[in-house]
Copies of this chain bind each other. A is one copy, B any other.
């Protein structure tokens, strides 16, 4: 087992960018890393009880489109109403079929592995968010508090 530390700042609130912080944190925890994730800006969406995260193909030509959908709906098609829901459902189905855990399951895995999940208090206030919308196994703190851990960490990642 390692005595190393990993600090992640999670700033994105979409379905696709929800995976990296939870996958990296749970992997590191399994390797014995002490791990903290600081959720700030859009990243706070990842702490909601029912996140309902979406993925958007808009502005991301790097996204592999399933079933040659890009040949049917080139660029402008990605903006038609409903496309975002279709893509989000497809990504969830693909993850499930391939045996990748859901975001909620990966998050549970992190909690069980004692990854510390911290909500940025300033962002909670800024977006008028309600702590009752969030899961219960989290702390609330500011950036200054997070730096105490980050400054001692072996790996820092801004996701």
Question: What is the interface of chain A, defined by CB distance below 8 A to chain B?
Answer: 2, 4, 7, 9, 11-17, 19-20, 23-24, 27-28, 30-31, 33, 40-42, 45, 53-64, 74-76, 79-84, 94-95, 98, 100, 122, 125-127, 129, 142-144, 147, 150-151, 153-159
- Whether the Cβ atoms of A151 and B155 lie closer than 8 Å is yes
Given A61-B84, A95-B126, A98-B125, 17 more A-B residue pairs with CB atoms under 8 Å apart are: A13-B61, A14-B62, A20-B41, A20-B158, A27-B142, A27-B143, A27-B147, A31-B144, A33-B147, A42-B63, A45-B62, A53-B62, A58-B75, A76-B81, A153-B155, A156-B156, A157-B157
- Whether the Cβ atoms of B84 and A79 lie closer than 8 Å is no
Indicate which residue in B33, B81, B95, B144 contacts A30 across the interface (CB closer than 8 Å).
Answer: B144
Q: Which residues of chain B come closer than 8 Å to A76, judged between CB atoms?
A: 79-81
Interchain CA distance A56-B61 in the complex, whole Å: 7
Interchain CA distance A15-B61 in the complex, whole Å: 9
- Whether the Cβ atoms of A42 and B60 lie closer than 8 Å is yes
